[in-house]
């Protein structure tokens, strides 16, 4: 009798939806995405001045969002540039809307 493993039980779409949901699972990350989504182009500057968190904490949250594919750009000092990854941002909205309908 074949055993079902996590790797072949869940669809790629379900795995991606979960990854996006995990990345959105902290209020700081939501605030970062809201800030970036208001920009018509990439955000240049220090988000630590915009958000009430330490730079090291901010870096961890940016890393999580980047690994999930929701943001892109250079997030390593001294030059900082943050952008919404529009393709993945729209995919995340579609996948989450599908689950939360």
* Fold that domain 13-99 belongs to in CATH: Arc Repressor Mutant, subunit A (1.10.10)
Q: What is the pLDDT of residues 55-69, one digit of tens each?
A: 889 889 999 999 999
Tell me the domain boundaries of the chain.
13-99
Its pTM stands at 0.84
User: b vs e for 13-47, b when ≥16 Cβ sit within 10 Å of the residue's Cβ?
Assistant: eeebbebbeebbeeebbebbbeebeeeeeebeeeb
Closest CA to 32 of 16, 44, 50: 50
Task: Answer yes or no: are the C-beta atoms of 24 and 71 closer than 8 Å.
Answer: no
Task: Answer yes or no: are the C-beta atoms of 41 and 61 closer than 8 Å.
Answer: no
Q: What is the pLDDT of residues 23-57, one digit of tens each?
A: 999 999 999 999 999 887 787 777 888 888 888 89
């Amino acid at each position: 009798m074949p055993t079902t493993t996590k790797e072949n039980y869940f669809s790629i779409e379900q795995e991606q939806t979960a990854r996006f949901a995990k990345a959105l699972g902290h209020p700081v990350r939501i605030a970062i995405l809201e800030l970036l989504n208001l920009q018509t182009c990439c955000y240049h500057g220090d988000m630590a001045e915009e958000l009430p968190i330490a730079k090291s904490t901010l870096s961890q949250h940016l890393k999580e969002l980047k690994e999930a594919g929701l943001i892109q750009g250079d997030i390593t000092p001294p030059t900082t540039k943050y952008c919404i990854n529009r393709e993945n941002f729209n995919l995340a909205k579609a996948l989450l809307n599908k689950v939360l309908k």
